[in-house]
Amino acid sequence: MAKTKPGKKDVDSYTIKGTNKIVRAGDCVLMRPIDSDTPPYVARVEKLEADHRNSVKVKVRWYYRPEESMGGRRPFHGVKELFLSDHYDFQSAHTIEGKCIVHSFKNYTKLDNVGTEDYFCRFEYKAATGAFTPDRVAVYCKCEMPYNPDDLMVQCEECKDWFHPSCMGMGIEDAKKLEQFMCSDCSADDDGKGALNSIHVAPSSATKLESKRRKR
């Protein structure tokens, strides 16, 4: 644990103003942005400390939304997807608006209902370089895109690959009615499937974006 500065003391928790919600180290929180038109920032609380006036600050590790990253939002990014960055800050605890849950990708896909407080993360992100960990992910369908949990996909009974209904010439409602599905390659008994099974997720742009987060 990082050493506390002179005149400051570690605290175990902080109660969000106007609520009974208690924040502790390890919790994920929504933090008020400077621009009221911007969605709340999402961060993981690493540490809480108070000064001699009991003013509480939190050390946070920021989550980035896809549009905040160098490569921007891509078709396979989910609406609730976040990247855990290597960007740390100290922020005043009064900027915390609420708590949220950042699920693993696997756990998120198992949710029966996605609430407003639910997000997911499958990548770590280096803010200075735009690099992702992992830097490659599996791809599916004929469009060879990674899985977007917001999109309906159907599984081929033969090859076990997953496909977007639109890529198979089907509507969403038609796909929902299917009891079994066989892709065009398997139904034609064609073994000439694409060899690609992963995609590089690093951005093509090397332009560094200035963070919109500022200390308060």
Chain centroid offset of residue 26 CA: 16
Distance of CA 20 to the CA centre of its chain: 27
The pLDDT tens digits of the residues spanning 42-52 come to 999 999 999 88
Say which residue the tokens 């009991």 belong to. Answer: 54
Q: What is the pLDDT of residues 102-150, one digit of tens each?
A: 999 999 999 999 999 999 999 999 999 999 999 998 999 999 999 999 9
Residues of the chain with CATH 3.30.40.10: 136-200
Which SS3 state, helix, strand or coil, does residue 16 take? coil
pTM: 0.80
**Bridge partners, residue 140, by sequence:** 145
* CATH number attached to the domain at 136-200: 3.30.40.10
Class level of CATH domain 9-133:
mainly beta
